[in-house]
Amino acid sequence: MKTMLKLALLLAAAFLASCGGKKEAGSTTDITPEVLKFYEETKNEKGEPFFVTKTATDLPADLKWEDGSDQEEFGSPDAKKGGTYRFFLTDYPRTLRHIGPDANNEIRDYVQDSVLIKMLGRHPNTLEMIPGCAKEWARGADKKTFYFKLDPDAKFSDGEPVRADNFFFSFFYYRYPHNQATWYHDFFSKKYEQIIKYDDLTLAVVVASAKPDAIEYAGALQPTAIAFHKEMSPDYLQTYNWRFIPTTGAYEVREGGLKKGQSVTFTRIQDWWAKDKKFYRQQYNPDRVVLEVIRDPDKAIEVFKKGDLDAYRLNLPERWHKSVPDDDPMVAKGYLHKATFYNQVPRPTYGFWLNTAKPLLGNQDVREGLQHSCNWDVVIQQIFYGDYERLNLAEEGFGEFTDTSIKARTFDPVKAAESFAKAGFTQRGKDGIFADAKGQRLSFTITNSYKVLESALVVIKEEARKAGVEFNVETPENTAGWKKFNEKQHDIAFTAFNVSVEMYPRFWEMWHSVNAYTQEGKLAVDNNNFTSFNDKEMDAMIDTYDKSEDIAEMKELAWKMQRRIHDAAVFIPGFKSPWYRTGHWRWMKFPAHFDARTARDHEENWLFWIDEDERKATQEAMKSGKTFEKSVKVYDQWRQK
């Protein structure tokens, strides 16, 4: 009892210090008592205290500290700070929050994924760990305890210093029930066993198991500002919906940065704590990032070609070959540059996610028939100019953890008809669509996430009729589409998850039944199980896989689960590409090597910079007729043969 009382008093003092010891003027709530109670009462699965305080003398004496100093910088020493980078969004965000409902939106990368500095970073070429908020780290003898020395310079954009208490608070924040972030609730409950504070700048994180990549779970922890969140309450979602959360990253949304329905502006923090740090001084170079809302991609590319956007993603072959061809006058005269960068990453999961909660799609034979009704090979040749390849499964690109013997089912109307017949769909109407004895037709709605890919779905729709299937296509605005997916209201979701660069694939998020149905039998919402996949044997394999520390066992389970997903026919693989492509104006500069090995687009590592002098010179050249050397380049140093 005395130990727990001492812990509570220590944490209370630290928490109150972080909050300034008093409420903000006008504040009506104070989360402090609830946080301290959470710290005191939370236990791990072993029944031990989750939050622990010790002293520096308790640190193991034989730790081998690392600092990443052997890793090379990956940007360019020529990078210049300043200027405005102008890009676009296809929809205005519904929140600035990065967790909870509607947080999976287009600005998430700008407030979280690509810019936030976590406990550690990962070198984008070597995949080794590099300093983040922690300047040094060490692995304990048990292989699952990781020790960190925080950088005393680290601080949030509101000025609050990053200390061990901010990592304590992150566990409260991500497990707070009123943020409705079920994925985070589960992740932060199961992936970590304990967090230990030795002093303000020294802490340890104990992960749940000594998996091969355990350091990534510990290093991926991010600190959370305490004072800013002191007013958390059951109304959290509304109270914090449009409040920019203090960040450890280089950019913030300031007052006036939100123009509802029109644009979002991020401003670089001039005294950003990491601006002179080795692995960050060549990143995040523009002073301002202005994201204009342009809902029509065709309009966006015209805005780009007029010079009002600095870059445009040209991954879609039609954009590369037709919208901005190599012989386009703006390209030929050297004003617009084009680049193809070969990368090494797990591939985004473009394809059809079949919602088995819908009666027809709950039928195995119907799903197998649909697999043979989608002619992606024709789409790749006709719409994608043969530039893409067929995706075979949702877990491609994980080396030995991917079962390359699994191949996507081919378009085959005969096999489709055989499967449909097993489900009772044997009668073809005058329109050629199969129906059963009750007159129910094989008709489904594809909810499309990408307006730019509508032409591909036109081909899919036409080809499917040959197999006796009617596909109706809807393309809602981006946030509305994701809301429909999250609420499991779709028939077929055409979308892709950007898969993290990791040693092995994840299965829990998309395939565990806890993300399909609640204990009451209702659909579980706000998660990534878009197929409502509900398979108890799969659950058991996922649970074993997530706890396993043995690479051989994990590989065997990964292959078994991939085969089970394939056999269930709940995901129809679409396409993949081994590169990313971008178009940019000549005033937008890149390193000589262009980007890093694991970059998925030009914003992944923020290595580019805007040269405002070159912008002015280019604009003057366009008026006078002066031209520059044409630049259409391929960067294939990371191409896999």
CATH of the domain at 513: 3.10.105.10
The two three-digit tokens of residue 288, written as one number? 């301002």
Element (H, E) at 37: helix 32-41
| DSSP sequence for 589-641 | E--TT-S-TT-SSTTSS---EE-HHHHHHHHHHHHHT------EEEE-TT---
For tokens 């910088």, the residue is: 73
pLDDT top residue among 364 and 105: 364
Going by their DSSP bridges, the two strands 202-207 and 145-150 should be labelled as antiparallel
pLDDT tens per residue across span 465-493: 999 999 999 999 888 888 999 999 999 99
- Residue 436 CB: number of other CB atoms within 10 A? 15
CA separation for the pair 341, 321 (Å, rounded): 16
pLDDT tens per residue across span 555-574: 999 999 999 999 999 999 99
Domains held by the chain: number: 2
* DSSP state for residue 388 in the 8-state scheme: S
**Is residue 546 assigned to a domain?**
yes
Instruction: Work out the average pLDDT over 190-214.
Output: 95
Q: What is the CATH number of the domain that holds 16?
A: 3.90.76.10
**Is residue 324 assigned to a domain?**
no
Predicted confidence band of residue 1 (pLDDT cuts 50, 70, 90)? very low
Element (H, E) at 330: helix 329-332
CA separation for the pair 287, 3 (Å, rounded): 49
Sign of CA dihedral 222, 243, 290, 486: positive
**Is residue 179 assigned to a domain?**
yes
Minimal CA–CA distance to 352: which of 444, 248, 437?
Answer: 444
The partner residues of 588 in beta bridges, in order of sequence, read 610
Collapsing DSSP to helix, strand or coil, 359 comes out as coil
171: domain range? 2-70+121-235
- Residue 187 CB: number of other CB atoms within 10 A? 17
Sign of CA dihedral 579, 580, 584, 588: negative
CA separation for the pair 115, 289 (Å, rounded): 12
CA separation for the pair 525, 486 (Å, rounded): 6
Structural contact between residues 121 and 129, judged by C-beta atoms closer than 8 angstroms:
yes
Left, alpha or beta for 467 (phi > 0: left; psi -120 to 50: alpha)?
A: alpha
- Residue 534 CB: number of other CB atoms within 10 A? 19
| DSSP sequence for 342-374 | E---PPP--EEEE-TTSTGGG-HHHHHHHHTT-
Residue 223, pLDDT > 70, answer yes
Please check whether residues 231 and 361 belong to one and the same domain: no
Helix, strand, coil shares, percent, the chain, to 5 = 30, 20, 50
**Is residue 597 assigned to a domain?**
no
The partner residues of 121 in beta bridges, in order of sequence, read 130
Predicted confidence band of residue 112 (pLDDT cuts 50, 70, 90)? confident
> Which of 213, 235, 257 is the endpoint of a domain?
235
164-175 vs 182-190: helix crossing angle, rounded to 10: 130
Predicted confidence band of residue 499 (pLDDT cuts 50, 70, 90)? confident
Please check whether residues 229 and 371 belong to one and the same domain: no
CA separation for the pair 381, 185 (Å, rounded): 43
pTM, entire model: 0.82
- Residue 322 CB: number of other CB atoms within 10 A? 11
Predicted confidence band of residue 29 (pLDDT cuts 50, 70, 90)? confident
| DSSP sequence for 497-515 | ------SS---HHHH-GGG
State the average pLDDT for the chain.
94
Element (H, E) at 341: strand 336-342
Cβ contacts of 555 within 8 Å, gap of 6 or more: 400, 401, 504
Minimal CA–CA distance to 456: which of 603, 260, 317, 272?
Answer: 317
Predicted confidence band of residue 67 (pLDDT cuts 50, 70, 90)? very high
> Which of 550, 572, 594 is the endpoint of a domain?
572
Predicted confidence band of residue 373 (pLDDT cuts 50, 70, 90)? very high
**Is residue 170 assigned to a domain?**
yes
CA separation for the pair 136, 437 (Å, rounded): 69
- Residue 58 CB: number of other CB atoms within 10 A? 11
Residue 345, pLDDT > 70, answer yes
Going by their DSSP bridges, the two strands 492-495 and 351-354 should be labelled as antiparallel
The reported pLDDT for the residue numbered 464 is: 98
**Is residue 609 assigned to a domain?**
no
Please check whether residues 398 and 541 belong to one and the same domain: yes
CA separation for the pair 71, 450 (Å, rounded): 38
pLDDT tens per residue across span 515-540: 999 999 999 999 999 999 999 999 99
CA separation for the pair 633, 625 (Å, rounded): 24
> Which of 235, 255, 285 is the endpoint of a domain?
235
**Is residue 92 assigned to a domain?**
no
**Is residue 291 assigned to a domain?**
no
CA angle 582, 586, 588 (to 5 degrees): 70
Minimal CA–CA distance to 447: which of 481, 422, 417?
Answer: 481
